Amino acid sequence: MHLEGTLEAALKFQLSARNGVSLPYSSEEEMRAAYDFDDLPSFLAMYYEGISVLLTEDDFYDLAFTYFQKAHSQNVVYAEVFFDPQAHTSRGVEFATAIAGIRRAQSEAESALGLRSQLIMCFLRDMSVESAMETLETADQHRHSIIGVGLDSDEKDNPPIKFADVFAAARDRGYRITAHCDVDQAESITHLWQCLNDIGVDRIDHGVNALDDPSLVAEIASRGLGLTVCPISNSYVTDGLKASQIRSMLDLDLRVCINSDDPAYFPGYITENLLAVQEAAGLNRGQITQLVGNAFAVSWLPDREKQAYIDRLHEYAVGP
Ligand SMILES: [Zn+2]
């Protein structure tokens, strides 16, 4: 889940007024009506437009804390969340400003709501390798605040291998590594193999197209890699939720879990995503428990802490 993708219309309007940033809409309704994207590039255009209202540390705090409150209302106890530093530094907002607001919200969410979180920094794959490397170097000052690095934005003509050196440098610094393999992209299978063989990812975001190549499925399974699938997001940028594929992934013992991606734009947080896939694929209680358990199993927590969450999940799922 991308923090910038939790920017709901109401907060976007509030921040645009607070910061004197004009938006090309006269009302929240008009803005929501413009969310008519049907592929990754048309979504990204709206996503970056929204980001333009985020300028101060308080803006990033409000963005993140509003999300944590929403997640808490859906009984989320732990979240690994992305942010996109280059989407801010490229418009003159400092890395330190963004991360300070986010860190403050994380710490308040933990103390006030009991919701823990860790932060993943994504590189924008449609920007240059030099920019990604510069971002990695800037992040050295905040190393203790970031658990891992990822790769997002427009996948077309931006294969994972483009950033092989950046990921190698991130690995040397001790970061965990994930990368988006968005659904139904050109060269999806090639990109998935690059993530495995050239990048050495610890996890894959989306990755549904792995099902098209049995040897890829076997390799992902043998490495125990997690796949963070986002059903409602899929329904906006591809031809459907991919619910039957999620069911197939469970049948194949892949460590698939359910995520909300950009919930302000693909309406639905974690509960709505779980419900959507449950209804569409007819999943039973055990399969839903497996999906949620997988999310903890593939998280970047120490093993003991993972197990404590999984034990709580099973207690809840079995009932009193
Ligand atoms: Zn994403």
CATH number of the domain that residue 93 is part of: 3.20.20.140
Q: What is the pLDDT of residues 93-148, one digit of tens each?
A: 999 999 999 999 999 999 999 999 999 999 999 999 999 999 999 999 999 999 99
Q: Which residue has the higher pLDDT, 31 or 69?
A: 69
Q: What is the pLDDT of residues 33-69, one digit of tens each?
A: 888 888 888 889 999 999 999 999 999 999 999 999 9
pTM of the model: 0.96
Joined tokens for residue 19: 């910061």
Please determine, for residue 319, whether its predicted confidence score (pLDDT) is greater than 90: no
Give the separation between CA 77 and CA 59, rounded to whole angstroms.
23
CB 262 within 8 A of CB 233: yes
259 pLDDT tier (thresholds 50, 70, 90) = very high
Tell me how far the alpha carbon of residue 72 lies from the centroid of ligand 1, in angstroms. 21
Please determine, for residue 317, whether its predicted confidence score (pLDDT) is greater than 80: yes
Joined tokens for residue 310: 């999984």
By residue range, what is the domain housing residue 214? 3-318
Tell me how far the alpha carbon of residue 281 lies from the centroid of ligand 1, in angstroms. 22
How far is C-alpha 287 from the geometric centre of its chain's CA atoms? Answer: 22
Q: Structural domain tally of the chain?
A: 1
Tell me how far the alpha carbon of residue 110 lies from the centroid of ligand 1, in angstroms. 24
- The DSSP symbol for 196 reads I
Three-state DSSP state, 240: coil
- Which pLDDT score is estimated for 35? 85
